[in-house]
Structure 1
Amino acid sequence: MRGKRIGSGAAMLAGALAVTGLALAPTAAAVTPTTATFTASCGIFGGGAATLTATQTGTAATLKLSTTAVKAPLAIGANTINSTLTMVNSAGPNRVFTGTVNPAMAINDPITVGPLNGTVASGDTLDIYNGGLVMVVFGITVTCTATGPQTPAFVYD
């Protein structure tokens, strides 16, 4: 009988240690870096410095784009800009991030869209150069491209 108790106790201890090990295990690494800059050209709507902010949870990723160089021509309500951001992937197929998330913007406020949702794979290296952002605002399509590579590229784990 005593052998069964020791065996049961050892099994419970091993189970507790396994659960503790999982709880203390490091979380999966995420995208690096989390911010990058580039120069945007949005045709007649302007252009200049822009910032991308990235997050990653497994294969789900988001990108947010903001720029003080391109201003809202009219007041824009929250979550009314339909955005598609295409990122060139040096490790495989391009990745597309989409959504209608944006803050409310007054006339001449800097443009911000996102977070836009997309899917990535481990090892993806994404850059907006030769990709771009297409925004549809009040039925008007605004296309923004990068004039050169972003600094630095996003690498997903």
Structure 2
Amino acid sequence: MRRKRTTTGAALAAGALAITGLALAPTAAAVTPDTATITADCGTFGGGEATLTATQDGTAATVTVKSSAITAPIALGADSISSTLTFVKAGGGTTAFTGTENPAMAAGDPVTVGPLAGTVASGDSLEAGGGSLRMTVIGITITCTATGPQSPGPFVFD
């Protein structure tokens, strides 16, 4: 009987340690800043200020792009825009975020694409300036380029 109590006690102690470990586990990694703005030129499709919102969970990251200065040329259904947002990495190279996520938009509505998914490493510093946003809508490709660096600065991932 004593052996059974010892085993039960050990199991309870292990369970308590596991629960304590979960409570003290670090939260998901964060990106800083989580929101930045850029000014973009989309050629004949317009241009102006856009807001980029980034999230991170480990090596998975997303970015959503919203702009009231860039508008939908026609009514668009949900998830009908294929987008690739390319950032320039500090130290060289690029990182792309891709997806087909977007809300339904009426002609003239502000454009929103994302969340676009990408993969990051701890310490990655990504800047939209020098990169581009390529959107394909009903077979027409629209390329927007940043006309300067993003503000307040690049996204830095934990």
If the length of structure 1 is used for normalisation, what is the TM-score?
0.90
Relative to structure 2, which stretch is displaced further, 28-37 or 113-122?
Answer: 28-37
Q: Does structure 1 retain, via aligned residues, the 8 Å contact 2:28–2:56?
A: no
Using the alignment, how far apart are the partners of 1:156 and 1:52 within structure 2? Answer: 15
User: Structure 1: which amino acid aligns with 2:19?
Assistant: T
1:34 corresponds in structure 2 to 34
2:56 corresponds in structure 1 to 56
Using the alignment, how far apart are the partners of 1:18 and 1:156 within structure 2? Answer: 30
1:11 corresponds in structure 2 to 10
Q: Identity across aligned pairs (percent)?
A: 59
What is the count of residue pairs matched by the alignment?
A: 156
Give, in angstroms, the shift of residue 91 of structure 1.
4.7
Change (3 A) 1:59 1:92: farther
1:155 corresponds in structure 2 to 156
1:65 corresponds in structure 2 to 65
Using the alignment, how far apart are the partners of 2:20 and 2:154 within structure 1? Answer: 34
Using the alignment, how far apart are the partners of 2:34 and 2:66 within structure 1? Answer: 14
Using the alignment, how far apart are the partners of 1:15 and 1:93 within structure 2? Answer: 46
Q: Does structure 2 retain, via aligned residues, the 8 Å contact 1:99–1:114?
A: yes
Give, in angstroms, the shift of residue 89 of structure 1.
1.2
Instruction: Name stretches of at least 5 consecutive residues in structure 2 with no aligned partner.
Output: none
Using the alignment, how far apart are the partners of 1:109 and 1:91 within structure 2? Answer: 37
Superposed, which structure 2 residues align to 1:118-157 within 5 Å? 118-151=118-151, 152-157=153-158
Q: Does structure 1 retain, via aligned residues, the 8 Å contact 2:81–2:136?
A: yes
Give, in angstroms, the shift of residue 7 of structure 1.
5.1
Using the alignment, how far apart are the partners of 1:93 and 1:28 within structure 2? Answer: 26
Find runs of 4+ consecutive structure 1 residues off by over 3 angstroms.
4-10
Using the alignment, how far apart are the partners of 1:78 and 1:32 within structure 2? Answer: 29
User: Structure 1: which amino acid aligns with 2:113?
Assistant: V
Give, in angstroms, the shift of residue 14 of structure 1.
3.7
Superposition RMSD on alpha carbons, in Å?
A: 1.7
User: Structure 1: which amino acid aligns with 2:115?
Assistant: P
Using the alignment, how far apart are the partners of 1:65 and 1:97 within structure 2? Answer: 11
Instruction: Name stretches of at least 5 consecutive residues in structure 1 with no aligned partner.
Output: none
